[in-house]
Amino acid sequence: MKAKHFLLSASAVLTIALFSCRSNSGSPDTKAGAMAEATGEPEVAQVTGAPNVPAPIGNRGAKKLIVNLETTETEGIIADSIPYTFWTFNNTVPGSFIRVREGDEITLNLKNAANSVLPHNIDLHAVNGPGGGAEATSSAPGKTTSFTFKALNPGLYVYHCAAPPVPMHIGNGMYGLILVEPAGGLPKVDKEYYIMQGEFYTKMSGVKKGLLEFDNDKAIHENPDYVLFNGKKGSLLGKNQIEAKVGETVRLFVGNGGPNLTSSFHVIGEIFDNVYLEGGSTVSHNIQTTMIPSGGAAIVEFKVDVPGEYVLVDHSLSRAFNKGAIGKLKVRGEENHAIFKKGK
């Protein structure tokens, strides 16, 4: 009885102490994840290539996760059957989408492919710790490194390679997004997609005919040849366009790898009902165009009311019309003349 009493008062004191810590910090939303204890055996997290995202975390508790990423240097198509030497996480640009919950304890294993020429690493903006993991994960060709971090702050974060010369590693496509969902998860929506902008500075390879590679001079002058969604011209056009039905809510996880340009992300014909500004916890409403800095992200949500083709652009429009920053959301369903009606 006595013991029980003690326990009760102890836990009361603890709760108060914890609570006071929280209010002292001045940002009640951040660091809350630190209090959750990650439990159970580590599980390998499912990751996806753009435009797909892994299933929502839902209402689970914090757990231990293993995220496996491989860095590669590989030829791919940048536009109109033109090859480019991309550097990637998991062979895609952007790299795999990682989805975790605040409080999760994540062990990140970074393997650098054996046939890589260069060392690579990973800096996740979701990490509290030196270099976001970059120092701990510097991987020579053929080597695997790892580190473990606790996801303290919910939000949508960019990750990227931070091996020098950093602009070159990012400029070749080494970036992706990691979503840290708050406890309880994000509100349910009907469709979720992963879009990441990045610009490419190219020149003809001095060694292999027809192949494009990174041009340092253009990068320094911030004068890209391509500004692209998901690493390829047309990656969200034609049969690759993303889709939704009238009445559905759509959530886009939008990141900007850069390495240099800020994106003015806009969906032509839609208004964002909610924007998690800069990927953080502040939700703004009724936004037409949201600014996504290089090395930043935003979550945008909107309900699609009327069928049609909605064009995704960087509203710095020369990039959309001349350099490739354009995609499409196809919405099918019944017309709703109360909302939109074409005149005669």
Partner 1 sequence: MFSTFRIYILIAAVALFACHKTAEDANNDGTTEQHTTTPLQNSHPTVNMVYIPGGEYKPFYGSDTALVQVPPFLIDERAVTNEEFLAFVKANPQWQRSRVKQVYADSNYLKLWPGDTTLPNNADPEAPVCDISWFAAKAYAKSVGKRLPTLDEWEFVAMADEKVANARKKPEYSNRIVDLYLQKDRQFKAVKKTAPNYWGVYNMFDLIWEWTDDFNSVMATEDSRVGEYDDKGLFCAGSATSATDVLNYAAFMRFALRGSLKANYTVANLGFRCAKDSNALAANKK
Q: Smallest distance from the beta carbon of 297 to partner 1, in angstroms? A: 18
Q: Which of 110, 145, 149 is nearest to 128 (CA)?
A: 149
| CA–CA dist 207, 211 (Å, integer) | 9
Q: Smallest distance from the beta carbon of 73 to partner 1, in angstroms? A: 7
Q: Smallest distance from the beta carbon of 165 to partner 1, in angstroms? A: 4
Q: Smallest distance from the beta carbon of 64 to partner 1, in angstroms? A: 27
Q: Smallest distance from the beta carbon of 95 to partner 1, in angstroms? A: 18
Contact between 343 and partner 1 by CB under 8 A: the answer reads no
| CA–CA dist 111, 91 (Å, integer) | 12
| CA–CA dist 32, 26 (Å, integer) | 12
Angle at 54 between CA 146 and CA 289, to 5 degrees: 105
Contact between 88 and partner 1 by CB under 8 A: the answer reads no
| CA–CA dist 111, 213 (Å, integer) | 23
- Specify the stretch interacting with partner 1 by CB under 8 A; choose among 91-99, 128-136, 269-277, 301-309: 128-136
- Specify the stretch interacting with partner 1 by CB under 8 A; choose among 32-40, 95-103, 119-127, 193-201: 119-127
Contact between 277 and partner 1 by CB under 8 A: the answer reads no
Please state the φ and ψ torsions of residue 266, each to the nearest 5 degrees: -145, 145
Q: Smallest distance from the beta carbon of 194 to partner 1, in angstroms? A: 24
Q: Smallest distance from the beta carbon of 133 to partner 1, in angstroms? A: 10
Per-residue contact flags (x/-) with partner 1 for residues 61 to 80, judged by CB under 8 A: ------------x-------
| CA–CA dist 332, 224 (Å, integer) | 35
CB 308 within 8 A of CB 341: no
Unique residue bearing structure tokens 């390829």: 232
Contact between 336 and partner 1 by CB under 8 A: the answer reads no
Q: Which is nearer to partner 1, 149 or 194 (CB)?
A: 149
Return the number of other C-beta atoms located less than 10 Å from residue 182's C-beta: 17
Q: What is the per-residue burial (b if ≥16 Cβ within 10 Å, else e) of 55-86?
A: ebbeeeebbebebbbbbbbbeeebbeeebbbb
61 Cβ contact list (under 8 Å, min separation 6): 36, 39, 101, 103
- Specify the stretch interacting with partner 1 by CB under 8 A; choose among 134-142, 178-186, 189-197, 249-257: 134-142
Contact between 140 and partner 1 by CB under 8 A: the answer reads yes
Q: Smallest distance from the beta carbon of 167 to partner 1, in angstroms? A: 9
Contact between 141 and partner 1 by CB under 8 A: the answer reads yes
Residue 31 Cα to chain centre, angstroms: 20
Please state the φ and ψ torsions of residue 177, each to the nearest 5 degrees: -120, 145
Contact between 118 and partner 1 by CB under 8 A: the answer reads yes
Amino acid at site 97: F
Give the number of residues in contact with partner 1, rule: CB under 8 A: 32
Residues 176-235 binding partner 1 (CB under 8 A) are 205-208, 213, 216-217, 220
* Tokens standing for residue 11: 């836990």
Binding test (CB under 8 A) with partner 1, winner from 119, 155, 231, 296:
119
Residues that bind partner 1 (CB under 8 A): 73, 85, 114-115, 117-119, 121, 123, 131, 134-135, 138-143, 162-166, 168, 205-208, 213, 216-217, 220
